[in-house]
Structure 1
Amino acid sequence: MQITEVTLQGFRNLEKMHIRPSTGINVFYGKNAQGKTNFLESLYFCATGRSMRTKYDWQMIGFDEEESHIRLLVSKKNRNERIDVHLRRDTKKGIAKNGIPIKKLGDLFGTLYTVVFSPEDLSLVKDGPAERRRFLDMELCQLSRIYYYDLQQYYRILKQRNNLLKEIQKKPALQESLFVWDEQLIEYGERVMMARRDFLQRLDIIAAQKLNALTGGLDQLKIIYKPNCDLGQMAERLERNLQRDLYLGSTNYGPHKDDIIFSIDGKEVKSFGSQGQQRTTALATRLAEIDLIREETGENPVLLLDDVLSELDEQRQKYLMESIEGLQAFLTCTGIEDAIKKYISKDNLFYVENGRITPEN
């Protein structure tokens, strides 16, 4: 899978532009706060329909602009695809695939597969469960429209159940209707849990191999799915904790409370790992994503590497660059690191200054 053309207008601080990236590693360099990450954000948005930095679409529109446009051409093994994005301040975003507007975000997934590397990857290991669930859901949604549908249904039903729990506090007789939402919540909740379990079992095997290679066999990584309640026990947990849910007006058991545990040599990386181990764990996990997407889809994902080399030592820089050789990547940096010099030429080098992206050739 390759991005063959990118057209932007009115996106963040970036000037109107049209580029044809190289099939290999494309390097976008320049000082900080010039727009390099904004460019990667536009590509990620075309793959997922969401920003990797903000919840609000209007924040991606340039300060002096009323709307923003993104167009990508994507080349795959057996076909070409076009993605068009239209953002306006006063209306919902519009996304079209091959000229046909999509009605559901799930219809976009699978058009372009991406894997993102950034300094913020440490949050995957260090932050709370919400960050790890977000990672899990975004990867699974890219790979499976069924998962996306089940997840959307689960959260829709969860919202309805929580609303009803609050209403029951005022009108206790409404409790008789709670079972309707419980049955649906259990059905979709267990589908989500099974998909997460299966995905993490596969990711665990590949990521362990990546970390083993990164550390020369010194560290043994384990990725463990930590569901909020075990499969087959959700009905019992909801029934047992009904009074607590009623008191709090919210549902306290289900996959919306799941977590992932990263451990090295049996010790949780979040609490006991060094900064280097935390960073290497995040890197191994991202590299494992590449293999998983390739195995599942038969396509190579497009890689988005945001200033990631500056956070890695020389050994890890070398391993990363060797691991992604042969894939299309968009890499941002402030200067040309020694680790990437052998991979670049004027055909894949872009200078970024004050929102203007200038191809070196």
Structure 2
Amino acid sequence: MIIKKLSVYNFKNHSEKVFEFSPQINCFVGNNGVGKTNILDALHYLSVGKSFLGNTDLNNIMKDEDFFTIDAEIQNDDSEDIIKIFQPRESKKIIKKNDKGYDRMADHIGYLPSVMISPYDSNLISDSGESRRKFLDAMISQTDSEYLFDLIQYQKAVQQRNALLKYFAKNRTFDKDALEIYDDPITRLGTKIFEKRKDFVQKLNPIIQNFYQIISGGKETVSVIYESHLLENSFENLLSESLEKDRMLTYTSKGIHKDDLLFEMDHVLIKKVGSQGQQKSFLISLKLAQMNLVKKLAGKTPILLLDDIFDKLDDQRVSQLIELVNKENFGQIFITDTHKERTESVVKKINEESIIFEI
């Protein structure tokens, strides 16, 4: 998958920008605040239909404008596709492929897989389990077309069950049969999601460990541990055993919506014992492992988005990363940096065609 051309209109701070890309390496250089990361965010939109920065779609419309659009020409094997994203201020977002809209927004996920490496990745270590769940879900969704649809349906069923629990508490009543209507879809969908998450993490671990050893040269061992209530109990039992607690709390307290990923180094949480350098090495290893596994499972090479990472890494880790990019054939790469000379030096070490855009 190669992005040949990108056009953005009224997107964040860019009123109009058009880029024709190299099939290999593309760099955006310029001072802080000129919108380099926003261009990567537009590319991320093409992949998953939303911002990697967590902004709402409406907040990405340029001030005083009524819409934003992101258009791209994408080389897909022997054919060429046109992807259009249109977000008006007064109605919902539209994503089209070759002028045809999707029946479900989730159907677009996986068409153009991507992996982003950015300074914001440190939040995966420091934040709550919700951010790590979202990261895991995003990885799997790019390799499994039904996973995201199942997840959306599961979340709706949990929301409906929670609303009913709150209704019971507010009106001092209870109807177990009415509550059990939601138990079946929650159990069925949640078990499917659990099995896919567990399998994905099992496949991810050895790849992470291999990349970590290459990047860090360290003797320590890193691992990702999947934590879930379902590892020790069936979903049916979980809902039954936690019923009284759920009534008191007025929400569903057990299930895959409480899953987490534990990032460990030598069997201790890396946020407790890992140095800043070790944590950076782990995060890069995690993202490269994501890219490697998505490529294997989806049969497509993801685009690699590198946001301002040369400013955050020491020379040794930059060199190791560049060596891995060369070795692994990661496909089309997009890089942002504040220093043109540094970017040129880094790109020279990668034996690929490149274009540098000054923003």
Which category of TM-score, normalised to the shorter sequence, fits these structures? over 0.9
Q: Contact 1:27–1:344 at 8 Å: present in 2 too?
A: no
Query: Secondary structure at the residue paired with 2:26?
Result: strand
Q: How is 1:76-225 mapped onto 2 (pairs within 5 angstroms)? A: 76-169=76-169, 170-225=171-226
Deviation at 1:257, TM superposition (A): 0.5
Range 316-325 or range 43-52, more displaced? 316-325
Query: Which piece of structure 1 moves more, 163-172 or 227-236?
Result: 227-236
Distance 1:344 1:295, change over 3 A: closer
**3-state secondary structure, aligned to 2:263:** strand
Alpha-carbon distance in 2 for matches of 1:219, 1:14: 44
Q: CA deviation at 1:231?
A: 6.1
* Residue 329 of structure 2 is aligned to residue 328 of structure 1: no
Cα deviation code 1:2-24 (max 9, x no counterpart): 11111111111113122111112
Shift of 1:99: 1.1
* 1:266-322 Cα distance to aligned partner (Å, 9 max, x none): 221022211111111111000101111111122211011110111111111011122
Output the amino acid matched with 1:21. Answer: F
Percent of aligned pairs sharing the same letter: 32
8 Å CA contact 2:25–2:353 kept in 1: the answer is no
Q: Distance in 2 between matches of 1:345 and 1:45?
A: 25
Measured against aligned partners, the alpha-carbon deviations of 1:246-277 in whole angstroms (never above 9, x if no partner) come to 11110110111100011112221022211111
Q: What TM-score, normalized to structure 1?
A: 0.93
Decide whether the 8 Å contact of 2:142 with 2:298 is kept in 1: no
Contact 2:24-2:332 at 8 Å conserved across structures: yes
The letter for the 1-side match of 2:21 is P
For the Cα contact (< 8 Å) 2:6–2:20, is it kept in 1?
Answer: yes
Counting matched residue pairs gives 352
Give CA deviations for 1:202-255 in whole Å, capped at 9, x if unaligned: 111101100011122522111110113326522212111111111111011011
Deviations 1:173-222 (A, max 9, x none): 42331111112111111111111101111111101100011122522111
CA apart distance, 1:128: 1.2
Tell me if structure 2 keeps the 8 A contact 1:129–1:258. Answer: yes
Q: Could you tell me whether the CA contact under 8 Å between 2:204 and 2:290 is conserved in 1? A: yes
* 1:142-201 Cα deviation digits (max 9, x unpaired): 111111111011101000100111112215242331111112111111111111101111
Question: What SS is found at the alignment partner of 1:189?
Answer: helix
Cα distance 1:345–1:278, how it changes in 2: closer, same or farther (>3 A)?
closer
Q: Secondary structure at the match of 1:262?
A: strand
Aligned pairs for 1:185-334 within 5 A: 185-230=186-231, 232-325=233-326, 326=329, 327-334=331-338
What residue is the counterpart of 2:34 in the other structure?
34
The answer as to whether partners of 1:190 and 1:231 remain within 8 angstroms in 2 is no
Secondary structure in 2 matching 1:80: strand
Distance 1:29 1:51 in 2: 21
d(CA) in 2 for partners of 1:291, 1:16:
34
Say if 2:6 and 2:73, in contact at 8 Å, map to a contact too: yes
Cα pair distance change 1:212/1:182, threshold 3 Å: same
Q: 1:218 to 1:200 in 2, by over 3 A?
A: same
Unaligned runs of at least 5 residues, structure 1:
353-361
Question: Residues 162 and 130 of structure 1: is their aligned pair in 2 closer, same or farther, counting only changes over 3 Å?
Answer: same
Q: Quick check: 2:8–2:17 contact (8 Å CA) kept in 1?
A: yes
- The 1:168/1:321 distance shift into structure 2, 3 A limit, reads same
Secondary structure, in 3 states, of the residue corresponding to 1:33? coil
For residues 132 and 280 of structure 2, what CA distance do their matches in structure 1 show?
Answer: 15
Structure 2: unaligned runs, 5 residues or longer:
none
Task: Give the letter aligned to residue 152 of structure 1.
Answer: I
TM-score, normalised to structure 2's length?
0.94
1:349 maps to 356
